[in-house]
Structures are given as C-alpha cells and as structure tokens.
Amino acid sequence: MQSHLPALIVIIPLLVALVLPMLGRGHKPWFLATLATWGVFAMTIALELQVSGLARDPSAPQTFLSYPIGNWRIPWGIEFRVDALNIFILLVIAMVSAVVTFYARLSIGSSIPPERIRFFYAAWLLFITGLLGVTMSGDIFNVYVLIEVSALASYTLVAMGRYQSRKALSGSINYLVLGTIGASFFLIGVGYLYSVTGTLNMADLADRLEPLHDNRAVITAFAFLLVGLSVKMALFPLHGWLPDAHGYAPPIVSALLSGVAIKVGAYVMIRLIFSVLGVEFSFVKLPTGPVLWVLASLAILLGSYTAIQQTSLKRLLAYSSVAQIGYIALGFSLANENGLTGSLIHIFNHALMKSGLFLVAGIISYRLGEADLNRLAGLGRKMPFTMAALTAGGLGLIGVPLTSGFISKWYLVTGAIERGLIPLAVVILLGSILALIYVWKVVEIVYFKPVSDLAREVTEAPWSLVLPAWTLIGASLYFGVDASLSSSLAQRAARLLLAQP
C-alpha cells in the first residue's frame, strides 16, 4: 500500500496555517499549531520507521521511499523522495519545531499584540511547511519554491520582533534582500541545469549529468547554486544578514531560524554536491573542497571571535551560529565518511543546543525585557533552572566531553586527520577555545556578578517555558552521553551519500 505520510507531513501544517487566521484571539491558534507540529513529529517518526524498514529489507526494490505528487509519473511529475539523509533532517525539523511551538504560548503572548497572534502562528506554520517541503522534495524547482515559501514566512516572522525593537525591521529587510538574491541565484543555477539536461527531478538530473561534467553550463550552474545556497545557510562571508535577523527576531523565531532553517540550506547543498553532481565532479574536477575549507575555517574563527565581542545574548548566539555553520560546511567538504557523519550529526546536535539556548534567551526576555548581557548579572541565584540550561547548552557549544558538541567535533577532527588536513583539525580546536571564551563570559556574569537592581524581584520562570528549553538542552546532553541513535542515523546517511554499503 502506498504510504501517504510524505504528502501529509507537508499538507497538514499548510492547511492548519490557512485555518489559524480565522480562529480569533485566545489560546486556540497556539493550541492548534502545537497539535499540528506534534502530529508532524509523530508522522515523521512513523516515516523514519518505514524508511529504515526498507533499508533493512533485502527484498525491497529500493532503499528510499518515493511519493509521486498527484500520481504523475516520475520524472515528469513532482516527486517527494525520502531516504536516509533527508529523514534525518526531517526528524530534526519536526522535533525542534514541536518543542518550540509548545514553548511559544507565553513567550509570544508577551511580545506580540493579542490581535496579531493568530497571524504569527499562521506564518510560523508556513515557515515549518516550507522547511519540511524543501527537505523532502526530489524536484529541484520545487525546492526553490519551497525555499521561498519558508523564507517569505521567516521575513515576516523576523519583522514581528518590531514590538521589542525597531531594529528587527531593518534586520528583516536586509534578510529579505539577501535571501531573495540567494534564492534567485539558485533559480539561475536551476535554469542552467535545465537547459543542458531538460529535467528537474534530482535523481534524473544526477543520471543525465554524468556524461556532461565537462560542460561549461553545468559548471556555471554549480557555481550559482553553491553561492545561492551559501547565502541561505549563512556561510561566511555571506552571513551578513544573520546576526540582525536572528538577533532581533522574537526568541522562538530565532530558535527555529538558527537551529533549523540554516541547516536546511546546508542540507540542500549536501544533496546537490553529493547526490546530484557527485563527489567526482564536486571534489575531484572542481576545487570545491579547498574553497569550502578556507571559508568554513574563517567562519569558525571570525564567527566565534565576533561572538566574544557581543553585548546582547541573542546576538552572541547568532554569531555563534555563523561559526557552527562553519563546522557543518567543514565536515561535508572533507568528503569522507567521518567528516560527513560529523557534519550531519552536528546539524542534529547544534539544532538541539542552539534552539534550546534561544529558548533560554526567550525566558530571560520574558522576565527582564531585552536579554542584554549586563542584565543577566547574578541571575544564577534567581533563576537556577534556566541558568543551568544556559550553562549546559554553552558547554555543548564548546564541545566539552559528555555533551553532544563533543561527539560532533570528535567526528570532524577524525575526518580532518584522515584526510591529512591537520590545520583544519587545529581550526576546530581553536574554535572550541574561542567558544570557551564567549560561553565563559556569559557564565561569569550569570554566576559571579552581584544581582543587578533590575533583577532583584525576578523569580524562576513558569514551567511551560523552562520545560521545553530543558527538553532540548537535556536531549543534547543525552545524545552526548549515548550517541548511538544520532550517530547511527548520521552514519547511515553519510554512507548513502558516499555510495558505500
């Protein structure tokens, strides 16, 4: 029997998003949005069981799940194709968005006027729809459209931060201009690929591009696609839009943007480099590897260095995301199993840590207004649970053993050494030292400074805020101790991409 899960995962949040603006005020929009995201999460788990069942079953004709939309024959129709790689990314998106949406009620209720809240949740679900769709789609033009669906929703979501600071508006318009240029570059690349192959289905493209690797149009297409996606994933030096957009958006929007949205850009890049154009073309024929090594190293070092100088917690976290994207790009540009596994597992681990940390930043703004670093002074005694989450997440960013950050860095360093690239291993370790400095800066203010006048009356935040933050941070700690589940999923995807059994 044909499983309809791939279509349902995208359609349910899409339809719910259309219903939400009709619901009026109160908690109904939040409740329905939470229900939808948890439903998507449950369906994603069911889908993962189906896909891993296919992989284990030797009699199955293929190791992926193909869903032709509207039953149009592939490659003419649009295909949703779920394999070991994108089910992994889907799980990350579904899990983080479910937890963050549950958290949203108080956080959004306190930062957006009541009559706007239903529109917020509508845009929020459209954003998640886009992310899920990009990840599942097997049609490259469809990927472009869904990238823009999620991006357009995210521009409006960032602009909703204007009730706190008008800088959210300028951050949003910058994000829009750069994001649109990035997506348009992607579209030009799609056009070039279509002009030489006459197909848009990614699996079909991969077959037809094989004899065309010397074609100049293909090389041009590759350049446009890579640059376009670099903007979307905020790879240095195209990260200019990120700090303002992530720094001034409402906290839960930053959590999903930093935790998941830029990872989806990274996923599309991995998909193109490894599945569509192939390792041979990307790394042997063209010098993609060295270019990405340099950019990723600069992202790690400069991103972390700039994070140290920030005075606002959210901007500090945003610059840290620039650095973390560097780790992800570094991992897959090594093009070996450990590097790629490290990259994928870091997508997973960083999604948990960074979303958790932005939720903590949201708790602080819920209690104190703006999450400026000076205002955090002495909060360690006032809000012990929240601040413990902040510290635990920070330790993960550094990559201390027994946190999940350590697992990803372990794979990345192993991958770099296997390739004989000792300088890259050194960059990864230097990045951890810089992370230690910016995390320590926060921890010192939180635990060792006297309580400021502002924070004198502050008490621990309500559990409906602390619990989701701790769920994400706690999960990141759990996957640091017992990484068997996350690393086996990441490894399976890495082997699929490198066409190893």
Shortest Cβ 243–another protein spacing (Å): 14
110 touching another protein, by CB under 8 A: no
- Sequence-distant (6+) residues with CB within 8 A of 13 are 36, 37, 40, 125, 126, 128, 129, 132
Query: Angle 84-111/484-497 helices, nearest 10 degrees?
Result: 130
147 vs 129: CA distance, rounded Å? 10
Question: Which residue in 32, 187, 205, 295 binds another protein (CB under 8 A)?
Answer: 187
Shortest Cβ 411–another protein spacing (Å): 37
For another protein, the closer CB: 48 or 244: 244
Closest CA to 230 of 220, 242, 215, 248: 242
Could you give phi then psi for residue 9, rounded to 5 degrees? Answer: -60, -35
173 touching another protein, by CB under 8 A: yes
Shortest Cβ 167–another protein spacing (Å): 7
181 touching another protein, by CB under 8 A: yes
* Range in contact with another protein (rule: CB under 8 A) among 97-105, 192-200, 310-318, 389-397: 192-200
Q: Give the CA distances from residue 178 to residues 193, 218, 228, 235, 434, in Å, rounded to whole numbers and listed in that order.
A: 23, 24, 10, 13, 28
* Range in contact with another protein (rule: CB under 8 A) among 12-20, 100-108, 145-153, 485-493: 145-153
155 vs 459: CA distance, rounded Å? 33
Shortest Cβ 169–another protein spacing (Å): 5
188 touching another protein, by CB under 8 A: yes
236 vs 246: CA distance, rounded Å? 16
Shortest Cβ 172–another protein spacing (Å): 5
For another protein, the closer CB: 38 or 119: 119
Shortest Cβ 187–another protein spacing (Å): 6
Cα 408–Cα 414–Cα 416 angle in degrees, nearest 5: 100
* Range in contact with another protein (rule: CB under 8 A) among 53-61, 185-193, 202-210, 298-306: 185-193
Instruction: Characterise 71 by phi-psi region: left (phi > 0), alpha (psi -120 to 50), beta (else).
Output: left
Which amino acid, residue 106?
Answer: L
Question: Which residue in 3, 170, 215, 220 binds another protein (CB under 8 A)?
Answer: 170
Gyration radius of the chain's alpha carbons:
21
For another protein, the closer CB: 34 or 154: 154
For another protein, the closer CB: 315 or 492: 315
Q: Which helix (H) or strand (E) holds 104?
A: helix 84-111
152 vs 156: CA distance, rounded Å? 7
Question: Which residue in 176, 277, 340, 475 binds another protein (CB under 8 A)?
Answer: 176
Shortest Cβ 456–another protein spacing (Å): 29
Q: Give the CA distances from residue 140 to residues 194, 199, 202, 496, in Å, rounded to whole numbers and listed in that order.
A: 10, 9, 6, 20
Site map 150..169 versus another protein, x via CB under 8 A = --x--xx--x--x---xx-x
Shortest Cβ 183–another protein spacing (Å): 8
177 touching another protein, by CB under 8 A: yes
**Per-residue b/e over 327-347, b at no fewer than 16 CB within 10 Å?**
bbbbbbbbbbbbbbbbbbbbb
Question: Which residue in 38, 194, 305, 385 binds another protein (CB under 8 A)?
Answer: 194
* Range in contact with another protein (rule: CB under 8 A) among 191-199, 301-309, 321-329, 436-444: 191-199
> Total number of residues binding another protein (CB under 8 A)?
27
Question: Which residue in 109, 191, 287, 401 binds another protein (CB under 8 A)?
Answer: 191
- Residue 246 CA, distance from chain mean position: 12
Query: Angle 28-56/5-19 helices, nearest 10 degrees?
Result: 170
| Both structure tokens of 147 | 């990238």
436 vs 358: CA distance, rounded Å? 18
For 415, half-sphere exposure in the C-beta direction (CA atoms, 13 angstrom radius) is 29
Residues constituting the chain: 501
For another protein, the closer CB: 144 or 236: 144
Site map 196..225 versus another protein, x via CB under 8 A = --x---------------------------
144 touching another protein, by CB under 8 A: yes
145 touching another protein, by CB under 8 A: yes
Residues of the shown chain interacting with another protein in the complex, contacts defined by CB under 8 A: 141, 144-145, 148, 152, 155-156, 159, 162, 166-167, 169-170, 172-173, 176-177, 180-181, 183-184, 187-188, 191, 194-195, 198
